[in-house]
Amino acid sequence: MAKRQGPVGRDARSASPRTPPHIGTLILLSGLSALGMNIFLPSLPNMTAYFQTDYRLMQLSVALYLGVNAVVQLVVGPIADNMGRRPVILWGLVLFLLATLGCLLSPNVELFLLFRMCQAVVVVGMVLGRAAVRDIYPPETSASMIGYVTMGMAIVPMLGPVAGGFLDELFGWTANFWLLILLGAMTLALAYFDFGETAQKSGKTLIAQFREYPELLRSPRFWGYSLTAAFSSGCFFAYLGGAPFVGTEVYHLEPGMLGIYFGAPALGYLIGNFLSGRFSTRVGINRMVLWGSWICVGGMAVSLLVTATGIGSAETFFGFMTFIGLGNGMTLPNATAGALSVRPHLAATASGLSGATMLGGGAGLSALAGALLTPQTGAWPLLLIMLITSALGVAAILLVIARERQLGL
């Protein structure tokens, strides 16, 4: 594992009495962001009954969360470049705890969805965790380190739906949110004592920080990397919006079993992130992104063929989702490192804008998948959406490669 970058590390240490965070802290911060997104998904049918509402309305808890997540990412980058990473992360975790408590106490679905949107503030851990990696490590190793961070992050969402399904069966759906409060409080304490500042404050006003967005927006390479990440992860977010319905209504899985099956992509994601951490520096980020994107396309194409033959089942549907996780595990850390390295002095802003692009598209795809799926359609609409978005990811990284050849990079 690479050592921390000398100059950046010394500057960060001189700016704060605390040292830069350990890699384990960055993993937990990112993991909490991911866990809040999917732990309760096996409980959606029971939550629908509890709030006496329509299942499609309850599914919006995913799309709305992702949409607000995208908006938060747009503003948190410039704020963190202005104020520093540490205070933004601490306040974000406090607000997440309050929002989670609001979800638990909500008397109706409207208030629940409102507090659910507020929960999205926890994304500061994911955004600024990636930015901290770029602060601490040099460009040539940041892709590998982001791979290690997101590899650890994959463990949490892989176990989250499994734990959520069993917690629902044992104690009801509220147990998932009590677990989020417990883990959020523990992560807040860890960040307070371990997350020292990693970046010098820019000294610019927030308005000046936001005025630097055009510098990123004018970069074709930044957009190429960001769109590659958005399209590649888009198939996963469509999965988040549609797989609970497919598992429950098409294959009639119980919450506990759905939770186990639902973790299939995260298993592939874990392997893909390990490959990124191990080989990105040696192979190069563009090649890793391209290979990962093709794996996503191949997995969805075969899954569609299996479904077309009439031998599709819950096992084949969720089993082929492992390829989505594997491809994303190779694509996302490398595409993220590419986006952050285009303008290194705007690392947090780039992380936020890239993440907003990814999650904004994810919110739309999640809602689209939920709207198109019915017991009559089966899994077809979801699989088609996932194949198209993963193919667009291949096209985006090919444009980046062509642009770099044009620039002689």
pLDDT digits (tens, 9 = 90+) for 85-120: 888 999 999 999 999 999 999 999 999 999 999 999
Higher per-residue pLDDT: 388 or 74? 388
Q: Supply the pLDDT for residue 216.
A: 74
Q: Supply the pLDDT for residue 7.
A: 37
pLDDT tens digits, one per residue of 278-291: 887 788 889 999 99
Res 347 pLDDT > 80: no
Taking a C-beta distance cutoff of 8 angstroms, is the pair 61, 116 a contact? yes
Sorted by where each begins, the domain ranges of the chain are: 18-199+212-407
- Predicted confidence band at 1 (pLDDT cuts at 50, 70, 90)? very low
Q: Supply the pLDDT for residue 215.
A: 74
Q: Is 206 exposed, middle or buried (0-12, 13-18, 19+ CB in 10 A)?
A: middle
Residue spans of alpha helices (H) in 251-379: 255-262, 264-283, 285-308, 314-342, 347-372
207-229: burial string, b at 16+ Cβ within 10 Å, e else? eebbebbeebeebebbbbbbbbb
Question: Rounded CA gap, 393 and 284, in Å?
Answer: 17
Residue type, 325: G
Residue spans of alpha helices (H) in 195-219: 206-210, 213-217
Q: Supply the pLDDT for residue 189.
A: 92
- Predicted confidence band at 201 (pLDDT cuts at 50, 70, 90)? low
For 57, the token pair is: 């309305």
Q: Supply the pLDDT for residue 139.
A: 57
CATH topology of domain 18-199+212-407: Growth Hormone; Chain: A; (1.20.1250)
Share of the chain above pLDDT 90, in %: 23
Taking a C-beta distance cutoff of 8 angstroms, is the pair 78, 349 a contact? yes
Res 13 pLDDT > 60: no
pTM of the model: 0.70
How many residues would you count in the chain?
A: 409
Residues 322, 328, 330, 333, CA torsion sign: negative
For 154, the token pair is: 């994959």
Higher per-residue pLDDT: 52 or 198? 52
Of 295, 316, 294, 315, the C-alpha closest to 304 is: 316
